[in-house]
């Protein structure tokens, strides 16, 4: 059972974007990293190529380590730890308040 999934609303708990919230757009399980919408934005210089005639500076979200973000509790709106509970024979992710965390 994964703690974070694509579509989860998460809050950054450490680093330059501490306190900001965003949705998970990509989970890199093998590196234990996540890409969050609007968080950890970096600027890259792109050289003009046949595919990209313009080139120039592009901004994109860089991956964050999964330990730097926490899912947001749907009832309280605060970051929370996640536990797995079994409801009707299926595993579900549950916040400390008891609310089920649904992706998206």
Q: What is the pLDDT along the chain (104 residues), one digit of tens a residue?
A: 688 999 999 999 999 999 999 999 999 999 999 999 999 999 999 899 898 888 899 899 999 999 999 999 999 999 999 999 998 898 999 998 888 888 66
Alpha carbon dihedral 93, 95, 100, 104, in 10-degree steps, equals: -80
Given a contact cutoff of 8 angstroms between Cβ atoms, the answer to whether 53 and 47 are in contact is no
What are the domain boundaries of the chain? 9-95
In this predicted structure, what is the pLDDT of residue 104? 60
Alpha carbon dihedral 54, 58, 63, 64, in 10-degree steps, equals: 170
Q: Which CATH class is domain 9-95?
A: mainly beta
Q: For residues 37 and 87, what is the distance between their CA atoms, to the nearest angstrom? A: 31
């Amino acid at each position: 059972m994964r703690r974070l999934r694509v579509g989860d609303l998460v809050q950054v708990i450490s680093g330059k974007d501490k306190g900001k919230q965003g949705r998970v757009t990509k989970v890199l399980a093998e590196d234990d990293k996540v890409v969050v919408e609007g968080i950890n934005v970096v600027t890259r210089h792109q050289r003009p190529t046949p595919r990209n005639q313009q080139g120039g500076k592009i901004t994109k979200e860089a991956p964050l380590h999964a330990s730097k973000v926490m899912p947001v509790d749907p009832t309280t709106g605060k970051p929370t730890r996640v536990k797995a509970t079994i409801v009707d024979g299926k595993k579900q992710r549950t916040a400390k308040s008891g609310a089920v965390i649904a992706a998206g």
